[in-house]
Amino acid sequence: MANIQFPQDFVWGTATASYQIEGAYQEDGRGLSIWDTFSHTPGNVFNGDTGDVACDSYHRYEEDIALLKRLGVKAYRFSIAWPRIYPQGTGELNEKGLDYYRRVVDALLAAGIEPCVTLYHWDLPQALQDKGGWANRDAIAAFTNYAETVFKAFDGKIKQWITFNETWCVSFLSNYIGAHAPGNRDLQLAVTIAHNCMVAHGEAVKKFRALGIQGEIGTTHNLYWFEPYTTKPEDVAAARRNRAYNNEWFMEPTFKGTYPPFMVDWFRAKGAEVPIEPGDMETIAQPIDFIGVNFYSGGFGRYKKDEGLFDCEEVQVGFDKTFMDWNVYPDGLYKVLSWVKEEYGDVPIYITENGACYDDELTADNRVHDARRADYYKKHFIQCHRLIESGVPLKGYFAWSLLDNFEWAEGYRKRFGIVYTNYETLERHPKDSYYFIQQVIKDNGFEA
Ligand code: PNW
């Protein structure tokens, strides 16, 4: 038994995203997003689920905030839906969309909870997609304009801003693998979109600074800890490519203004070039105040000719798996954040997502005994503490997610919440993991 104590100013929070929880997809002038189109197209989302209603947080946000308050969190990470603010992406502003977030932000502040806002958590206005989406550089100016509007509307109230959530998902998962909206399968498109999104991030940061907005701004990358299964050079190189796909491809431009050359060569050999225009790399590498990291998993890989994009196959080494079939690898969190500090220096780090999906069952008395999820959290909290002890500037932790919600291509069957959502009644029921985290926050630590 060890007594684990977190620093006084450690920020405990939970996270959600607009399309996954809000519903009300046609209300108060909201425009359509690529996720409306994608989810309404048969074959894209499990069971044909859509975010039309989701958790109905658009109408039930007060209940959600009451749950946050009871949980005891200092901060809540949520995202603003661009198509609520600019239904066409650019042009006419929709005040009613801003009003919804004004209500949410005011209610959070009244509850003593700091809002942490993501500007882009995947709901691109469909009107922009119709003009080529992120592959069209016009999207960069549209994004910067949208960012400027919300910066000004919430200056002094929202003090922590994240430009993009998981640029890897926006680019490769959505445009090369095709699993997420808009569902393309084209490597060149994915490479272009990753680049344009990073430029858009940089432009938004420049705008933030130019306007003198209070608070801090950063971006969130989903990092994965991929290690070679053996020390054979070909295995090391293969695992390195697979890791760089999630990590270095995004972290190097963000912090150093360069792309990793071995990856540039690899993509070139596959026929894809990064469309860099003069000034882009400087824009991308604007200094940021913190880096958000979403961490879920990791694994081991070895060389296998023609396996996937990188000649790398994953080796199963007996990890516990979540219901997403993702490896539970808490040590990977320690390793990846230690690597961030080693490689990119003392930039403050927030874990902006970490959590687990299990096949929860609601008992007759509306409880969910999700011991495995609580255990997942505990194991990752231990690593957070280890990181802080070792001098990594980890400032906060946001559990994904406050609520079971629309899990993208997996629809509603995959539950990540610490609160159970009954999709028939839309009632919320805190799970055992919620009470576990509540106690951890209360004590700012736990006995491990
Ligand atoms: C992240 N993958 O998504 C997102 O930021 C959340 O919105 C999401 O609900 C959460 O993680 C859980 O999935 C990902 O297939 C979705 O590699 C899929 C992948 C990675 C991240």
Pairwise CA distance, residues 290 & 308, whole Å: 33
Mean pLDDT of 54-62: 99
184 is in an annotated binding site: no
Burial string for 126-147 (b: 16+ CB within 10 Å, else e) reads bbbbeeebbbbbebbebbbbbb
Which region, left, alpha or beta, applies to residue 54 given φ > 0 means left and ψ of -120 to 50 means alpha? left
Contact 47, 434 (CB under 8 A): no
Indicate whether residue 222 lines ligand 1 (CB < 6 A).
Answer: yes
pLDDT tens digits along 125-160:
999 999 999 999 999 999 999 999 999 999 999 999
Q: Which residues contact 278 (CB under 8 A, 6 or more apart)?
A: none
CATH number where 289 lies: 3.20.20.80
Q: How far is the CA of 4 from the centre of ligand 1 (A)?
A: 29
Q: What is the pLDDT of residue 144?
A: 99
What percentage of the chain carries pLDDT values higher than 70?
Answer: 100
Short-list 73, 47, 58, CA closest to 23 = 58
- Per the annotation, the verdict on 353 as an active-site residue is yes
* pLDDT range class, residue 270, cuts 50, 70, 90: very high
Residue closest by Cα to atom 13 of ligand 1:
407
Is pLDDT above 80 for 2?
Answer: no
| Angle CA 64–370–376, to nearest 5 | 95
Q: What is the pLDDT of residue 1?
A: 56
Pairwise CA distance, residues 151 & 144, whole Å: 10
- Mapping DSSP to helix (H, G, I), strand (E, B) and coil, where does residue 266 land? helix
Contact 392, 5 (CB under 8 A): no
pLDDT tens digits along 116-133:
999 999 999 999 999 999
How many residues are given for the chain? 448
Write down the catalytic residue from 22, 203, 252, 353. 353
Write down the residue that tokens 């450690």 correspond to. 10
Pairwise CA distance, residues 74 & 160, whole Å: 12
Q: What is the pLDDT of residue 162?
A: 99
Instruction: Report the domain count for the chain.
Output: 1
Indicate whether residue 220 lines ligand 1 (CB < 6 A).
Answer: no
Q: Strand pairing partners for 219?
A: 291
**Where do the H-state alpha helices sit in 296-431?**
330-344, 371-389
Is pLDDT above 80 for 375?
Answer: yes
Is pLDDT above 60 for 186?
Answer: yes
Q: What is the pLDDT of residue 112?
A: 98
Residue closest by Cα to atom 7 of ligand 1:
17
Domain that holds residue 159: 3-447
* pLDDT range class, residue 359, cuts 50, 70, 90: very high
| Angle CA 203–207–212, to nearest 5 | 150
Cβ neighbourhood burial of 235 (10 Å; 0-12, 13-18, 19+): buried
Mean pLDDT of 255-278: 98
Q: What is the pLDDT of residue 205?
A: 99
Q: How far is the CA of 233 from the centre of ligand 1 (A)?
A: 31
- Per the annotation, the verdict on 252 as an active-site residue is no
Q: How far is the CA of 354 from the centre of ligand 1 (A)?
A: 10
Q: What is the pLDDT of residue 113?
A: 99
- Mapping DSSP to helix (H, G, I), strand (E, B) and coil, where does residue 396 land? strand
DSSP state of 321: B
For residue 401, the one-letter residue type is S
Contact 419, 410 (CB under 8 A): no
Q: Strand pairing partners for 10?
A: none
- Mapping DSSP to helix (H, G, I), strand (E, B) and coil, where does residue 387 land? helix
407 is in an annotated binding site: yes
Mean pLDDT score across all residues of the chain: 98
Residue closest by Cα to atom 12 of ligand 1:
407
Residue closest by Cα to atom 21 of ligand 1:
169
Backbone angles phi, psi at 15, to 5 degrees: -135, 155
Mean pLDDT of 293-315: 98
Q: Which residues contact 269 (CB under 8 A, 6 or more apart)?
A: none
234 is in an annotated binding site: no
Mean pLDDT of 104-109: 99
Sheet strands (E) in 272-417: 290-303, 312-315, 349-353, 394-400
Is pLDDT above 90 for 247?
Answer: yes
For residue 169, the one-letter residue type is C
ipTM of the complex model: 0.94
For residue 158, the one-letter residue type is I
